[in-house]
């Protein structure tokens, strides 16, 4: 059974304090991963709220700043305050917030924090152990430092778009915000490396995190092709997966079935034999045109015949039936799952992956569970904060401001 926080449990990052003033997905997902494993993450939003509060999905498709599924997911287990870092009073507040913090995450773009008097050198005077993670499109310096990027342009600029899509057609990006979430994961690794150095050696530091460079270096298609060019000075061949991209006669790509689609992976010669066993057509290997084996796998004239056999077989079965029959013979086929399929998947349900979390305004929903299950330092479920929910707790109780100070700052638009 999936572990959840119990009284007395030791959480992996319970001694880590994070101030997250980033907006959007990468920084928020980075700090969410830390918060879910016990870090005290203070989510600092502008007074009008983080932009992701305006993005869906929303329950019943009715927009509401406290009901954004994206914001609720990105900010589990965080405390929330509001603060305008461009105002002098907001800058004072932020300096006080980072005074006892281990990590500050920001994404305002190159030079903006310095313009506000909140650059690393200034913050290090307040807290020499502080790690500052600056997330920007292309880094703090260099020819592209002022580039404006979207999910699509980042996907393209980082080299991944060049290798995705239907064969013989224009490149097509994977859906939604996969790159921004992936970059948030990479940023969390960079952040924890800095925090470990600070904890163990007492040395704070500035981390310049470029979404472009992290994307270009990822193993997801782009990185391996950069290595190819670096080592042999050649442009890697463009190979986009799909049933029409002939490399061998083995099926590969997405195939239709009785209730949806399955993904078939081609590869080693023994997989072809496993395929024939699953299709109950092992007799083909006895026929002369399939000899010698495995040389026959590279005969383009046999591909249509094999594809026809596979299409006939998949269309006679559901995607789960295809998966189970193929997996029984170690032929790599999986169902192409819809979101509903994932939500009802017996494996996820059997491991209690989806966790109910209640929110005072949005209500109770099931959220994705942990990416890992440490035996001794469990992950914990917890909701996202309301806008400015912890202003009084943090500014008054922790930092010593009065309620009158709080009211005045609210009137001035500082919080």
> What's the CATH number where 295 sits?
3.30.1540.10
**Same domain, yes or no: 58 and 199:** yes
pLDDT at 5: 42
**Same domain, yes or no: 266 and 172:** no
> Residue 133: which domain range?
17-220+349-411
Q: Look at residues 293, 315, 336 and tell me which one is the last residue of a structural domain.
A: 336
Q: What whole-number distance in Å separates Cα of residue 277 and Cα of residue 328?
A: 10
**Same domain, yes or no: 21 and 126:** yes
pLDDT at 243: 46
Residue 324: inside a domain, yes or no? Answer: yes
Residue 298: inside a domain, yes or no? Answer: yes
Residue 226: inside a domain, yes or no? Answer: no
- Helix, strand, coil percent values for the chain (each to nearest 5): 45, 15, 45
Token code pair at residue 58: 């929303």
**Same domain, yes or no: 194 and 93:** yes
Domain count, the chain: 2
Per-residue DSSP letter, 310:
H
**Same domain, yes or no: 264 and 386:** no
**Same domain, yes or no: 259 and 143:** no
Residue 344: inside a domain, yes or no? Answer: no
Integer Rg of the chain from CA: 26
Q: Look at residues 289, 306, 336 and tell me which one is the last residue of a structural domain.
A: 336
Q: What angle do CA 12, 18, 22 make, to 5 degrees?
A: 130
The residue among 230, 241, 235 whose CA lies nearest residue 263 is 241
**Same domain, yes or no: 124 and 171:** yes
pLDDT at 6: 44
Residue 68: inside a domain, yes or no? Answer: yes
Residue 90: inside a domain, yes or no? Answer: yes
Token code pair at residue 307: 């594809």
The residue among 183, 129, 182, 92 whose CA lies nearest residue 17 is 129
Q: What whole-number distance in Å separates Cα of residue 106 and Cα of residue 188?
A: 13
**Same domain, yes or no: 21 and 167:** yes
**Same domain, yes or no: 207 and 280:** no
**Same domain, yes or no: 94 and 115:** yes
**Same domain, yes or no: 383 and 271:** no
- Here the CATH number for the domain that contains residue 175 is 3.40.50.10540
**Same domain, yes or no: 320 and 396:** no
Residue 229: inside a domain, yes or no? Answer: no
Q: Mean pLDDT per 10-residue run, the chain (415 residues)?
A: 48 96 96 97 97 94 96 98 96 96 96 96 97 95 90 80 74 82 94 96 96 79 58 56 63 93 90 95 93 92 94 96 95 93 92 95 94 88 97 97 96 95
Residue 190: inside a domain, yes or no? Answer: yes
Q: Look at residues 336, 366, 389 and tell me which one is the last residue of a structural domain.
A: 336
pLDDT at 311: 96
**Region of 194 on the Ramachandran plot (φ > 0 left; ψ -120 to 50 alpha; else beta):** alpha
Q: What whole-number distance in Å separates Cα of residue 214 and Cα of residue 217?
A: 5
pTM: 0.86
Token code pair at residue 312: 């006939």
């Amino acid at each position: 059974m999936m572990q959840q926080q119990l009284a007395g449990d030791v959480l992996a990052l319970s001694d880590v304090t994070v101030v997250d003033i980033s907006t959007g997905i990468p920084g928020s997902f980075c700090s969410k991963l830390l918060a879910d494993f016990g870090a005290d993450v203070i989510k600092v939003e502008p007074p009008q709220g983080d932009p992701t509060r305006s993005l869906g999905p929303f329950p019943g498709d009715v927009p509401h700043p406290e009901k954004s599924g994206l914001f609720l997911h990105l900010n589990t287990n965080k405390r929330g305050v509001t603060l305008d870092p461009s105002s002098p009073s907001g800058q004072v507040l932020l300096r006080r917030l980072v005074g006892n913090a281990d990590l500050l995450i920001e994404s305002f773009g190159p030079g903006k924090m310095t313009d506000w008097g909140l650059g690393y050198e200034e913050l290090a005077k307040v807290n020499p152990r502080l790690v500052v993670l600056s997330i920007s499109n292309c880094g703090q310096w260099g020819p592209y430092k002022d580039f404006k990027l979207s999910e699509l342009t980042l996907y393209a600029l980082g080299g991944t778009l060049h290798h995705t899509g239907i064969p013989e057609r224009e490149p097509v990006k994977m859906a939604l915000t996969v790159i921004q979430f992936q970059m948030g994961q990479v940023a969390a690794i960079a952040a924890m490396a800095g925090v470990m150095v600070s904890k163990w050696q007492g040395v704070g530091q500035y981390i310049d995190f470029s979404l472009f460079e992290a994307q270009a270096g990822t193993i997801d298609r782009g990185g391996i092709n950069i290595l190819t060019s670096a080592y042999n000075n050649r442009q890697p061949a463009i190979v986009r997966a799909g049933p029409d991209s002939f490399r061998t006669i083995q099926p590969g790509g997405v195939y239709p079935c009785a209730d949806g689609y399955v993904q078939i992976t081609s590869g080693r010669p023994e997989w072809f034999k496993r395929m024939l066993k699953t299709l109950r057509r092992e007799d083909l290997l006895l026929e002369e045109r399939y000899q010698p084996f495995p040389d026959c796998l590279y005969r383009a004239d046999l591909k249509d015949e094999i594809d026809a056999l596979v299409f006939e077989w998949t269309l006679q079965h559901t995607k789960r039936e295809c998966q189970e029959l193929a997996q029984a013979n170690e032929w790599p086929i999986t169902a192409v799952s819809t979101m509903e399929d994932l939500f009802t998947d017996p494996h996820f349900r059997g491991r209690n992956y989806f966790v109910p979390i209640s929110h005072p305004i949005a209500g109770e929903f099931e959220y994705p569970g942990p990416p890992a299950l440490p035996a001794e330092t469990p992950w914990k479920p917890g909701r996202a904060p309301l806008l400015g929910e912890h202003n009084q707790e943090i500014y008054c109780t922790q930092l010593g401001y009065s309620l009158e100070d709080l009211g005045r700052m609210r009137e001035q638009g500082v919080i």
